Amino acid sequence: MSAIELALDWTPNTNHTGIYVADSEGYYDDAGLDVTVRSPAEDDYDQTPAKRVATGESTVAIAPSESALSYHTHPDYESLTAIAAVCQQDTSAIVALGDSDIDRPADLDGQTYASYDARFEDHIVEQLVRNDGGDGDIEVTRPPKLGIWNTLVDGDADATWVFMPWEGVLAERDGIDLTPFYLDDYGVPYGYTPVMLARPEIIETRGEDISRFLEVTGRGYEFAADHPEEAAQILGEAAEGPETLDDEDFLVESQRRLADNYLTDDGTWGEMNTQRWTAFVEWLADEEILTTIDGDHIPASEVTVADLYTNDLL
């Protein structure tokens, strides 16, 4: 059996259902893979999943696409390559509480944003505000990552970034109104989120293992897309994490909202295209968000988009 450690980007949720389906249905065993799924709750998010892969502690990570760009331009770590898109559509949004005075991104000027402390995150949100006519003058706070949702709900922050099929459905369950701002609606061509990442060295030396892993993981996501209720039940039974995993009605509704976002139009999982990656890189560069860790601007011409992702293992 070939061992693979997969570092999740968050505590288990419906973005991860295909993984738990593949494990529970024996797809990994049949492919000769011993897959360990690691939640960031194990160390209270002391390390991001991308960093765990960059340092060789995990084999594959789930993360937003800009993590590939971040490590590609980081002097202290190996580059990371996106090897599959978990979802084809971006289901994330910047959200504020519905009973606040924040009705549009421009209203975030002077308000607090609870940040996950990702390298480009805060600047993307600032530009979102500017794209809506604001100044991009937000006050960034950095609470413990796994407590960010509660920071918003408790009123200790005015806005944060969430996945609507998860926290959005959670808010509905709990009677909390949200005002969401979807990035694409405000001129932000956000990349794939989330994606799976691996080091180029691992792609080179363990390509067959990674390819088998992606193939059967894709079968898990295809199952989740076709059978959302059954897949939600599998997730609830197999995953260990927050109390929301014990709420079957919530899981089923979350799964239904997300099911149509897993696959391409022709029903395949994981594929990415150059145009989408290029649009995101060029936007980041044009807005001078794409910088070195020292703050120096990186023009888009210095980034080879083909090095950021591959479909070759699918």
Helix axes 228-238, 207-226, angle to 10 degrees: 120
pTM of the model: 0.97
CA 72 to chain centre: 17
CATH 3.40.190.10 domain range(s) in the chain:
2-88+192-307, 92-186
CA distances to 11, 238, 247, 257 from 254, in Å: 15, 16, 11, 5
Give the separation between CA 48 and CA 30, rounded to whole angstroms.
30
CA distances to 26, 60, 109, 129, 166 from 234, in Å: 12, 22, 43, 39, 17
pLDDT tens digits in sequence order for the chain, 314 residues long = 999 999 999 999 999 999 999 999 999 999 999 999 999 999 999 999 999 999 999 999 999 999 999 999 999 998 999 999 999 999 999 999 999 999 999 999 999 999 999 999 999 999 999 999 999 999 999 999 999 999 999 999 999 999 999 999 999 999 999 999 999 999 999 999 999 999 999 999 999 999 999 999 999 999 999 999 999 999 999 999 999 999 999 999 999 999 999 999 999 999 999 999 999 999 999 999 999 999 999 999 999 999 999 999 99
- Rama region for 132: left / alpha / beta (φ>0; ψ in -120 to 50; rest): alpha
Q: Which CATH superfamily is domain 92-186 in?
A: Periplasmic binding protein-like II (3.40.190.10)
Residue keyed to tokens 């029903």: 267
The residues, ordered by sequence, that sit 6+ positions from 47 with a Cβ below 8 Å of its Cβ are: 40, 55, 57
Give the separation between CA 307 and CA 140, rounded to whole angstroms.
32
List the Cα angle 198/163/85 in 5-degree steps.
30
pLDDT score recorded for residue 254:
98
Task: For 2-88+192-307, give the CATH class.
Answer: alpha beta
Residue keyed to tokens 């995990």: 58
Residue keyed to tokens 């089923």: 252
pLDDT score recorded for residue 179:
98
pLDDT score recorded for residue 272:
98
CA 253 to chain centre: 20
pLDDT score recorded for residue 102:
98
The residues, ordered by sequence, that sit 6+ positions from 267 with a Cβ below 8 Å of its Cβ are: 222
Q: How many residues are listed for the chain in this entry? A: 314
SS3 call for 114: strand
pLDDT score recorded for residue 10:
97
